Chain A
Amino acid sequence: MSATTIPDYGTLGERAAAGLRPKALSDEQKVAKAKEAFLAGMTADMATYLESCIHCGMCAEACHFYIATGDAKYTPIFKVEPLKKVYRRELAPLRAFNRFVSRDITVEDLAEWKELAYDSCTQCGRCSLLCPMGIHIQSMIQVVRNGLSAAGMAPAELQAVADEQKDKGSILGAGADKLREVVERVRAKGIEVPLDKDKADVLVLSSALDFLKDETILAATAKVMNKLGVNWTIRSDGYESANFGALSGDRVAQKRISKRVIDAAIAAGAKKVIVAECGHAYPVLRWEAATLYGKELPFEFLSVAEYLGQELKAGRLKVKKAGNGASHVTFHDPCKLGRMGGSFDEARDVLRALGVKLTEMESHGRTNLCCGGGGGVAMLKSALPLRQKAFELKREEVERTGAPTVVTACNTCMQNLETGKAWLNWDKDIVNLVQLVSDNLA
């Protein structure tokens, strides 16, 4: 089976980082900006979580980065320590006392926590399922990222793309022009792509991360959509699934980027918006976009896997028994679709319809182990050694299934599994769901 067509995220990250325009902030300003963002994120939920922690350290045992390294600093709750410190001194009921016995956060603290909030957290949410007190650590990490981004201390790889995407709508220079060019290439293959239709029932999103290298994923998606016979479109004014505002922690960018998609969907009169197989994109659009937009939306967001599952159930999607080597597979649940998104069954229903033997990994479904590349981590050069260690856990679980093929429904997972494959000289095939379906349409 063919290797991935997704570009190497690490290389993309390096390219992006070179283009960062740093914010000119003094150390005092950095600390002030970070604290301001921390306090803005301190909702009642957050305060409850911060108050509840009994410092038991159990969360460490859910984290792939801690399990893989045994290094105490990767304890999930420790990754939000700056937030805890600010809470204790600024908002906690005993703040007067706490101010007396603790010191304020410094720019050195923030610099130290950059590694912990970005490189060593994929925001997979597994720790939030283990904590005996019920602390949603994943959501607190996002507030730490908000603070670091506000202080201009987010990783260059992510902040540079967030800035570009916020201002121009493109990712690494790939914007609407690049999309048009890729669409032409798909059309040249004899696959129709309805670009920029005025009105359509279904708006399909893509991502520059998918089509920077070639048109394979867009072609596969278009083939499936055409076969379903729905009135669909891709719009050059709102096609990007990825949201580097969310990944970098830049809240302003996150809001503006998701608004583009919302505006395009409303303009097209779409009832459904299909988010490309892009991990973080799904929860960011499905679970955060309307709230940031400030209004309920007149359409629904679906991941590709969810949409395929629904169409299959409704009898509109027809597939044949998968050939091409994919007879025995294991399914890697993308954290952002599964644990953070609530979509587990749809992909499995599709695999069942394809007639493949599915062997589950020990950690699957809601307790799935992250591949180690989510939350922007795959793009961070500094995170590479850590990512390789964490990947070992995934590899072991995959190996134990005995399946020669790993199917997933997220291109970050896909890219990370492919990279892992290269590191380890691994003999597994990595396939994304939409490709598998597109190859086996009945």
Chain B
Amino acid sequence: MNEGLYLEGMSLLDFARGPALRWAVIIFVIGIVWRLTALLLASRKQLEPTKGSATSGGIKTLLTRSAPAHELEKNIVFQHYSGYAWHIGMFVVLLFFAPHMLFFKDILGFGWPTLPNLFITFFSVVTVGILLVLLARRLMNPVLRQISTLDDYISWLIAFLPFLTGLMAFTHITFGMRYETVLALHFLSVCLLLVWFPFGKLMHAIFIWPSRYKVGAAFARRGVRA
């Protein structure tokens, strides 16, 4: 075994889960706070008497928008359910894979039950499959192609890489790289995700809440359930 490479692999892993991850988390948090503050411009006050409470309408829409009305939903069945499948798959793998839980336990101080590896493998493969299908769809569907930006593709790649490197590490299909190197790449891909998160489309995970609230409030003010 080449000792130099071994040491290099170890140091890359140390870097990845040490300073790289720490800085990534810092950028992640500061970035989110910055982008949210940038939106805290004064909202325009509206002077018309309302037909309903904007606040409660806004809060309701946070949840109700997760399932659109039937007449609207019937045309978007694929997007709707593939979106759900991808997000659920991602969270299952992120939270219920034993090594992931242990990693969080190290930070948080408490753990939770995890799923057997067989399930995790299933979810990972399905999730990666959905990501690939969604990318193909974005490249081929005329509606999506015309509204897609560089950010969509960068964000796709950045969401895909942790799955790719994670599956490589998990299955030990490493294309000749040392396991530790693959693991380090896995950590680095997560760092990349955290750093990119506040600046690109991934930020939708945060923006979805003020946006849904605002649309819910705008309709509720007029007495319409959004």
Report which A residues bind B (CB closer than 8 A): 43-45, 47-49, 51-52, 54-58, 60-62, 66-67, 72-73, 75, 77-78, 81, 93-94, 101, 126, 128-136, 139, 283, 286-291, 293-297, 300, 338-343, 362-363, 366-367
Interface of chain A: mostly helix, strand, loop or mixed: helix
Chain B min CB distance to A94 (Å)? 6
Chain A min CB distance to B42 (Å)? 7
Is there a chain A Cβ closer than 8 Å to B83's Cβ?
A: yes
Interface string of B34-60 (1 = CB under 8 A from A): 110011111111111101100000000
Is there a chain A Cβ closer than 8 Å to B22's Cβ?
A: no
Known contacts being A131-B215, A366-B224, is A342 close to B51, with CB within 8 Å?
yes
Are A129 and B208 within 8 A (Cβ)? no
Known contacts being A73-B146, A134-B216, A339-B224, is A44 close to B43, with CB within 8 Å?
yes
Chain A residues near B150 (CB, 8 Å)?
101
The 10 closest A-B pairs by CB, nearest first: A342-B223, A134-B212, A61-B75, A72-B142, A134-B215, A52-B211, A290-B47, A44-B41, A342-B222, A57-B143
Chain B min CB distance to A302 (Å)? 11
A-B contact pairs, 21 of them (CB 8 A): A43-B41, A43-B43, A49-B211, A52-B211, A55-B144, A56-B144, A57-B143, A61-B72, A67-B75, A131-B215, A133-B204, A133-B211, A134-B211, A134-B214, A136-B215, A139-B218, A287-B221, A289-B48, A343-B223, A366-B224, A366-B225
Known contacts being A78-B146, A132-B65, is A54 close to B201, with CB within 8 Å?
yes
Interface string of B196-213 (1 = CB under 8 A from A): 000101011001101111
A78 to B216, CA, bound (A): 22
Are B69 and A367 within 8 A (Cβ)? yes
Are A134 and B147 within 8 A (Cβ)? no
Chain B min CB distance to A341 (Å)? 6
Chain A residues near B47 (CB, 8 Å)?
290-291, 293-297
Interface string of B143-173 (1 = CB under 8 A from A): 1111111101000000000000000000000
Are B46 and A291 within 8 A (Cβ)? yes
Interface string of B173-210 (1 = CB under 8 A from A): 00000000000000000000000000101011001101
* Besides A57-B141, A134-B226, 17 other A-B contacts (C-beta < 8 A): A43-B43, A44-B39, A44-B42, A47-B39, A52-B204, A52-B210, A55-B138, A55-B144, A55-B152, A128-B226, A130-B76, A134-B65, A289-B48, A291-B47, A293-B47, A296-B47, A339-B224
Is there a chain A Cβ closer than 8 Å to B106's Cβ?
A: no
Are B143 and A48 within 8 A (Cβ)? no
Are B143 and A75 within 8 A (Cβ)? yes
Is there a chain A Cβ closer than 8 Å to B71's Cβ?
A: yes
Chain B min CB distance to A200 (Å)? 21
A362 to B72, CA, bound (A): 11
A342 to B219, CA, bound (A): 8
Counted as pairs of residues, one from A and one from B, with CB atoms less than 8 Å apart, the total is 166
Are A93 and B35 within 8 A (Cβ)? yes
Is there a chain A Cβ closer than 8 Å to B117's Cβ?
A: no
Are B210 and A48 within 8 A (Cβ)? yes
Q: Which of B90-148 contact A (CB under 8 A)?
A: 138, 141-148
Are A129 and B79 within 8 A (Cβ)? no
Are B211 and A130 within 8 A (Cβ)? no
Are A93 and B72 within 8 A (Cβ)? no
Known contacts being A55-B148, A339-B224, is A133 close to B75, with CB within 8 Å?
no
Are B48 and A286 within 8 A (Cβ)? yes
Are B72 and A130 within 8 A (Cβ)? yes
Chain A min CB distance to B120 (Å)? 26
Chain B residues near A363 (CB, 8 Å)?
71
Are A300 and B207 within 8 A (Cβ)? no
Chain B min CB distance to A114 (Å)? 17
Are A72 and B216 within 8 A (Cβ)? no
Chain A residues near B68 (CB, 8 Å)?
129-130, 132
Are B79 and A128 within 8 A (Cβ)? no
Q: Closest residue of chain B to A338, judged by CB? A: B224
Chain A residues near B141 (CB, 8 Å)?
57
Chain B min CB distance to A132 (Å)? 6
A403 to B80, CA, bound (A): 33
Are B199 and A134 within 8 A (Cβ)? no
Chain A min CB distance to B49 (Å)? 7
A362 to B48, CA, bound (A): 32
Chain A residues near B223 (CB, 8 Å)?
342-343
Q: Closest residue of chain A to B226, judged by CB? A: A129
Chain B residues near A49 (CB, 8 Å)?
211, 214-215
Are A291 and B44 within 8 A (Cβ)? yes
Are B44 and A287 within 8 A (Cβ)? no
A132 to B223, CA, bound (A): 20
Chain A residues near B48 (CB, 8 Å)?
286-291, 297
Are B144 and A57 within 8 A (Cβ)? yes
Residue of B48, B146, B218 contacting most chain A CB atoms (<10 Å): B48
Chain B min CB distance to A51 (Å)? 5
Chain A residues near B66 (CB, 8 Å)?
132
Chain B min CB distance to A426 (Å)? 23
A341 to B222, CA, bound (A): 6
Q: Closest residue of chain A to B68, judged by CB? A: A130
Known contacts being A93-B35, A362-B71, is A45 close to B214, with CB within 8 Å?
yes
Chain B residues near A132 (CB, 8 Å)?
65-66, 68, 80, 83, 208
A102 to B204, CA, bound (A): 21
Chain B residues near A340 (CB, 8 Å)?
222, 224
Are B83 and A56 within 8 A (Cβ)? yes
Q: Closest residue of chain B to A294, judged by CB? A: B47
